[in-house]
Structure 1
Amino acid sequence: MTPRRANRHGFTLIELLLSVAICMVLLGGLYFAVDIQVKTTRSGREIVDEEMVARAVLDLISRDIESTITLNHPFKFRKGNATFASNTSSAEQSTQDSSSSGTGSTDSSGSTDSSGSTGDASEETPATSVYLPPGVVGFPDAMNLYSRKAPVLTDPKNALGGPGGQGDLRRVCYYMARLGTPEEALVRYEVTQPLSAQGLDTGLMPQDDAAPIVAEEVRAVRFFYHSGPGGSWVEQWDSRSLDYDDLTPVGPPRAVRVEVDIEMPARPGKDPVSRTYSRIVVIPTGNVPSIQTRPEGS
């Protein structure tokens, strides 16, 4: 007697459809998970790139602000003895007093006899002034810094004081301009002769196509200046302004707040997004304005 074989039943149509549906749900969930991971990675990379651009821009501006040249004791330089960004010159009275000397006597008849020597006017000592770097001359959307920077020696002879050598004082300008770019970009311009007529004209922002662009991703820049303890943030600053005593220049601010708007190139089908980054830079040589109040009626 032979045993009966067990009949093997196949999958029904409903079971096949159900298994296919389950596989589609699993594959769809896996696809969406991978898509979310890719988008998150791409967004994170874009944010990192944007923050790297912002950090590089703020680091560059911070280094220039921290190296600002100013007077450690501005009260030693009174008005008339030192000139801040001015082409006028002041002469000491002693040069005029020492230019001539003599003696004279008058008799009873009214005639006058004199003897002495008078120097020629062309031999007088020329009037000179001590020109001092203005420090910080800032506006809401632009800033001028007179800072120290080590010169680059392209010729070893310049290190020995030969012709063509440059000093370590620079006027650094930050402003927005459209220089060969579709949108305005942040420009950093250096004036190698800051005490010349061009270097002292802080209201002139060079519109030179050769001016280096810091970053095309910067859409706007704003500067705010703090006067120190008890003060507040202001949108303009001029280190050449005089303090309450009308003698002492206020010098650079104690701190500068820099705000930049960064806009990275958008992906196809997406609108560009602008983010604001800020940093407060303290000036170690910033002067503290006098707490003395201006007398009434002056």
Structure 2
Amino acid sequence: MNDLKIAKRNLSDALGDNIKLYWANMKLWYRQKITKEEFDLEARRLLSDDNIHLHNEFLVTVLTRCQILSSESSEASKVKSSSLSSSTEKLTKKSKPPKKKKVLVRPTFENRFVPSDAMLKAPAVAMQVEESLDFCARSLFLPDPAMLHGRVFVTAWEWGIDNVSGATIPLIMHSVQHVLKNVISAVISRRSGYSVREGKFKHNMGVFMQLPSLRNQSRDRPHLEKSSSSTNMETPSGQYSVTRPDSETSEQCAVMQQATSGIPPTQKPVSTYDLLDALQVHPGVLASHTVSCAAVERTIVRLWHPDRDELHQDDIQRQRVAQQQEELMVL
């Protein structure tokens, strides 16, 4: 962290009043609004030729710090798993019968040395293509700790915060998973039927809707309408225990539900139209008004696709940026 602070301080001293513009450009780069080449071009405009190396040193320090923090989190999980495995090995060793003593073989002085080929362990050098940054929109995966560390650092520096605690990253990862779970539940509940416990807890997604004219739904699953007294009892593990129905009751409920349900309709795969409908009908899924508006706007943009002329203009712009980058490299 000292190297990161030193690199940030040197860069701030070199930029001066342009530090806010530098953070804004770096934030746009993390958000995939601009490319790495465009970010380097803007940094060259803000810095002089003598101080341009501070920009490269700062980026290298940030990426190194993110990799170190992500590796530390993975090593901590490995230590926990190894401690559990060692405890299980001790238990198995106690239960195993004692092994018989091995017969010792007297060493001889015969020459059994066989020289090995030194080229077998030589590393194979291959030219690797320079990979671009992987964003969540491209990889379609949740952000990893290294990517989150970089974005959190940029946001903290933008607001004048020098350091970020390591416990912040797991909290952000769990919150992202929780929000995505709520959004997916809202989308699926708009497309298919589901069961409700105690009037608010959704479960059993994808069931067929029952016809109310054939059977009163309140009599089908009585064990789900009223919670027993055991639901208020907390177990030593910190969870609440719930009584489950026996096999006979579950079988009767399944048969009744199948008999009173109609013909299941044929549905298409989930699309952006379903996501837009779920966000508009359930605005409380995203509590922040800013995040909700941005999500709706991006969903509407996804419904539109460019034509040939726009794709051609995009290729021309990419060629111009590549040509400008080549000219800078020549200079």
Fold-level similarity (TM above 0.5): no
Q: Which of structures 1 and 2 has the bigger CA Rg?
A: 1
Short-chain TM bin? under 0.3
Could you say which structure has the higher helix fraction? 2
Bigger relative CO (Cα 8 Å, ≥ 6 apart): 1
